[in-house]
Structure 1
Amino acid sequence: MSHSQSSACLIHASRLPCTPRTLKHDVLTTTMLHCGSRIAKLFRSPVTPPFNFPRRLLIKFEFSSLFQAKGLNTSDEESDEFLPWLERKARTKISSMLWIGKSAYGRSLFASENIRTGDCILKVPYSVEITPDNLLPKIRAILSDKIGTVSKLAIILLVERKMGQSSGWAPYICCLPQHGEIHSTIFWSEYELNMICQSSVYQETVNQKAKIEKDFAAVVPALQQFPDLESITLQDFMCAYFSVTSRAWESTKGLSLIPFTDFMNHDGGSKSIVLFDDDKMFSEVIADRNYAPGEECAISRGRSFITLRSSPIRICKSFYKGGSY
């Protein structure tokens, strides 16, 4: 998320501080449409991705000085054990340069030491990334072929949340936002939406809600086959759907959730992107500039995708030093 004075609030949005949900006439300043956004256009190949990504609407708000302040990088106690847990699960080191903390934008990643341009700041094995392959076979077997990847990932999150602490992904699931913590217009009441009925935000929200409701109706028959899942509501599905569309990344293997990496906030000025190595089966992020200890590390939404095979790290390091793209 950009660190500019005008903080960005996404319709399928990232982690923001609690803000009033009442819009004043001088609050809405700019509306911009982004196709795909974070849901994977964090690649840089000129080749058109083979997926039609959900449209995500970016709304710029002018927040009060309370919300404009970046704040200090305070410790996030509930996340202290997250990285050690993920590294145990991955059976490898993921990062020694970053730690999880909280900024004014929510959970964030900060430099734990001096970071230089071109340094690999994190490396996550595919084995601890959540993809549609993680869907339980018994559920996959009865899902309609028309169910999309986003819905499949949403179902995985719902199943894991229902399992509670017995879930192998419990520490990650606990870090995902729940209803009441999500700042997105898809959760606004009809009264609140009517306040912006003259804007494109309104129609975009209506369209997104209609799509989610249609997707939920398509998965309900499958969920009803399992007693532990039949109590899942539309609101539950919307929360999980939100988590996927605001966090998922696209690679050559398809859509995936990448724990730890998705704690990085977006900055429009950053050139860091997620790189994928299909040979060694991991994704990683390369620093696009120097960071001092305690400084928040950000990532870019990017424009399309890149793999390490097509663009080796040495090229990326040279590229970052070279400037614009």
Structure 2
Amino acid sequence: MTFMTSTPLMASPPPRPAPRPPRLRSGGLLPSGRSGLRLRRSSSQVLLPLLTLQACRRSVPAPRRGLEALSLDTKPRAQAQEQQLAAFRAWLKEGNAAVQSRGVRLQRSPLGGLGLFAQKNFPQGAVILEVPFEKCLEVDAHHFDLDDATVLQPILARAAEEYDVDAFVEVEAQKAVLALCQRLLLERQQGASSKFAEYLAVIPDPSELHPLQLRWPKRLSEQSALLSRMHHTVLERDNACMEALQPFEQVWKRRCWALNAVWTRAVHLVGAEGEERLSLVPLMDFMNHWTPTRSTSETWSCFYEIASDHLAVRAERAISKGEELTLLYGEFSDAQLLCNYGICPEMPCRNAFDEAAVSIGPYVLSSPAGEEAAAPDGALVAARAACLARHGWALQQKLVFRVPQELRPSGGDRVGPAHEEGRGLLALARLLSLETAEEVAQLEDEIFWMDLPGGSAPDLPLQVEKRAWQRVLEWLQEV
């Protein structure tokens, strides 16, 4: 059977006033909850055209049966699904560790698959669910390494890498993911005797558009440089994980089911004493992702918090009867949602977190510093090349920058190390706005302050800033 839904691999939320679930990013944890949303201008360069996605959907084979019913595999499919859901609901209420749900219902969602819906009005801050940890499938998450190895990379190295950092998770974090996959597969091998049998029976297969499930048409991944790199990274990451899981399960489909469940549904929980675990939280993992738009002030409906023996889901705002309960998985673009979760956008240009890509080639080394400047001499070109190489650009490659992320002059309101903030595009524009090799030597450390321990935002000459922003605008016009 296939119940298509997904909840992300994410971490425990920060304290209020922004108690929203953080997300796992490349090499470390970064809260996605903020005191307010920053709605971004999207660009069709990186959005997936609706017609292309519809064509891709038409090329998807008819839905295959998902996880075989553990004890109902002789029943007709619709009957088996309904009985499995009924058994799951009964299991949630079993024993001393029953899930406490206060007016919610599991039903089909217009967002796809199953979702949780409010059966009554909830005021802001109200407890909606309490899931005891005894009902959760968990492993120790001590493998998570909070020392982000990519922080030590020069800023331009990230724009030159083949992967997109938001689609990549460090090897140390993958150890915890693989451990939970193994636990999931071992429980499945126990069949109906597993303590989690009823829960396993309703964990869905990957979405039909997930890269592991569908060989994407070439035209789809070529919609943007960001999408192509992200797709490539997800495939490499997941294929490596599938290979690592082979000793525990020979059947490819079952490994795919387990890996997808952990990547898209597990949460990283940090207790009061600092203990860490990676957990699949029944019922909460059916809550769908909320996608912000640029034209609405509505926000996601729920957040979660950790108690000593359970996880509680609370109302982020007032919730009306009949409304679907949602979480913010992270500030994810349509491309990220498609590559990591198989979630297809309903409409192009709707997602406020969509991104665009600016591709820069080695031709910039020979460009004038400004509109009125002469062509650079050999000494300036050589100084530019040497400086950019020191900050991570292999000059035979193109750089691919994400905007608007790469245009924050000095960090804005985001949390985390400087390398999490981007700014590489603006740094490149500032360097190219210098008119002599001497200026490059004098101002390099200020322009690339994010590559220096304890560096601080630059105070550059006004004329340099004006030329830099003019160059940025020219690049953006080519997107």
Alpha carbons of structure 1 residues 220 and 106: separation in structure 2 relative to 1, 3 Å: closer
| Letter aligned with residue 219 of structure 2 | M
Alpha carbons of structure 1 residues 209 and 114: separation in structure 2 relative to 1, 3 Å: same
Aligned runs of 1:41-190 on 2, under 5 Å?
Answer: 41=11, 43-44=13-14, 52=27, 62=50, 77=82, 78-89=84-95, 91-104=97-110, 105-132=112-139, 148-178=175-205, 181-189=207-215
- Work out which of the two has the higher radius of gyration on C-alpha atoms and give 1 or 2: 2
| C-alpha contact 2:221 2:231 (8 A) present in aligned 1 | no
Q: TM-score, with normalisation over the residues of structure 2?
A: 0.43
| Letter aligned with residue 240 of structure 1 | A
Q: Deviations over 1:45-75 (max 9, x none)?
A: 69998983699xx9766488xx9xxxxxxxx
How far did residue 244 of structure 1 move? 0.8
Q: Deviations over 1:195-228 (max 9, x none)?
A: 234233233222222222223333434x2xxxxx
CA distance in 2, matches of 1:202, 1:302: 20
Q: Secondary structure at the match of 2:106?
A: strand
Alpha carbons of structure 1 residues 195 and 151: separation in structure 2 relative to 1, 3 Å: same
Q: Are residue 204 (structure 1) and residue 205 (structure 2) matched?
A: no
Q: Secondary structure at the match of 2:93?
A: helix
Q: In the alignment, which of 219, 222, 242 is matched to residue 216 of structure 1? A: 242
Q: In the alignment, which of 212, 230, 237 is matched to residue 255 of structure 2? A: 237
Aligned to 2:218: 194
Aligned to 1:5: none
| C-alpha contact 2:97 2:132 (8 A) present in aligned 1 | no
Q: In the alignment, which of 243, 260, 264 is matched to residue 287 of structure 2? A: 264
Alpha carbons of structure 1 residues 81 and 295: separation in structure 2 relative to 1, 3 Å: farther
How many residue pairs are counted as aligned between the two chains?
236
Aligned to 1:316: none
Q: Deviations over 1:66-97 (max 9, x none)?
A: x9xxxxxxxx8442342331221553342132
Alpha carbons of structure 1 residues 61 and 168: separation in structure 2 relative to 1, 3 Å: farther
Aligned runs of 1:277-288 on 2, under 5 Å?
Answer: 277=307, 280-288=308-316
How far did residue 147 of structure 1 move? 6.4
CA distance in 1, matches of 2:184, 2:287: 20
| C-alpha contact 2:242 2:259 (8 A) present in aligned 1 | no
Q: TM-score, with normalisation over the residues of structure 1?
A: 0.61
CA distance in 2, matches of 1:286, 1:173: 25
Q: Deviations over 1:167-214 (max 9, x none)?
A: 2211111111126x543123222xx34223423323322222222222
* Greater relative contact order (CA < 8 Å, ≥ 6 in sequence): 1
Q: Secondary structure at the match of 1:101?
A: strand
Alpha carbons of structure 1 residues 54 and 302: separation in structure 2 relative to 1, 3 Å: closer
| C-alpha contact 2:9 2:24 (8 A) present in aligned 1 | no
| Letter aligned with residue 91 of structure 2 | W
CA distance in 1, matches of 2:23, 2:238: 25
CA distance in 2, matches of 1:90, 1:52: 38
| C-alpha contact 2:246 2:255 (8 A) present in aligned 1 | no
| C-alpha contact 2:302 2:315 (8 A) present in aligned 1 | yes
CA distance in 2, matches of 1:83, 1:95: 11
Q: Deviations over 1:282-325 (max 9, x none)?
A: 1111112333333222222258xxxxxxxxxxxxxxxxxxxxx9
Q: Secondary structure at the match of 1:131?
A: strand
CA distance in 2, matches of 1:50, 1:193: 27
Alpha carbons of structure 1 residues 276 and 60: separation in structure 2 relative to 1, 3 Å: farther
How far did residue 261 of structure 1 move? 0.5
Alpha carbons of structure 1 residues 90 and 258: separation in structure 2 relative to 1, 3 Å: farther
Alpha carbons of structure 1 residues 164 and 59: separation in structure 2 relative to 1, 3 Å: farther
| C-alpha contact 1:39 1:53 (8 A) present in aligned 2 | no
How far did residue 274 of structure 1 move? 1.6
Q: Secondary structure at the match of 2:198?
A: helix
CA distance in 2, matches of 1:267, 1:248: 17
Gaps of at least 5 residues in structure 2 are 31-45, 58-80, 142-171, 271-275, 292-298, 332-413, 415-479
Q: In the alignment, which of 247, 267, 271 is matched to residue 265 of structure 2? A: 247
CA distance in 2, matches of 1:283, 1:174: 22
| C-alpha contact 1:273 1:302 (8 A) present in aligned 2 | no
Alpha carbons of structure 1 residues 193 and 160: separation in structure 2 relative to 1, 3 Å: farther
| C-alpha contact 2:118 2:323 (8 A) present in aligned 1 | yes
| C-alpha contact 2:115 2:286 (8 A) present in aligned 1 | yes
CA distance in 2, matches of 1:218, 1:203: 23
Alpha carbons of structure 1 residues 146 and 243: separation in structure 2 relative to 1, 3 Å: closer
Gaps of at least 5 residues in structure 1 are 1-13, 17-36, 68-75, 135-144, 224-228, 304-324
| C-alpha contact 1:15 1:182 (8 A) present in aligned 2 | no
How far did residue 106 of structure 1 move? 1.5
Aligned to 2:353: none
Pairwise CA RMSD of aligned residues? 3.7
Alpha carbons of structure 1 residues 176 and 54: separation in structure 2 relative to 1, 3 Å: farther
Structure (1 or 2) with the greater helix fraction: 2
CA distance in 1, matches of 2:269, 2:123: 26
